[in-house]
Amino acid sequence: VLKAIDQLLGNLKSWMRPQSRSPGWLMLPARAEVRPMPLGVVGVMAPWNYPVNLALIPLATAIAAGNSVYLKPSEHTPQASAFLADLLREVFPDTQVAVALGGPEVSAAFAALPFDHLLFTGSTAVGRKVAQVAAANLTPTTLELGGKSPCIVSTDCDLKEAALKIAHGKLVNAGQTCIAPDYVLLP
């Protein structure tokens, strides 16, 4: 989280600069530029497997972009979620960052809010429900979904080294990582 915040602080000034664009020869002598602008209120739905990182990094990114954030941490990590709610209440005014705590019914109501953008990290099954509910408001939605991640082993690799790396990738965070290898493809 701290490295992500450092990256935001180190790059924000350049990311905020207007970028020139060509309007095309039909519009000459016009000039065009893209100016980064805040969206408004960003909803962040964080998962249970990385309850701090996947709540605070999207939150920090949205704030750096000038938005307000409404965070819904996972109900499966009640102590981490309560800690985040208390911490964020101390650091930010509730007009800039708010936290919704609760179970699946709160998550469903949260996803149905008319956010300016909604970020969801979690399972494909729940992601489908979130996308469907958010679509009713035409809410732009970013879904980071877990899935079946293959490992491809080529004929010229060192099998001992590959096995060690695959096992490491599978066991990081007790295997609860979105990109943890689920199966191996090999000749």
Cite the active site residues: 144, 178
What are the C-alpha distances in Å from 22 to residues 27, 35, 37, 149, 176? 9, 14, 20, 40, 45
**CA 29 → CA 19, 24, 154, 182, distances in Å?**
17, 9, 54, 55
Angle at 116 between CA 111 and CA 117, to 5 degrees: 60
Q: Tell the residue number behind the tokens 């602080």, with chain if given.
A: 9
Give how far the C-alpha of residue 165 lies from the chain's centroid of Cα atoms, to the nearest Å: 26
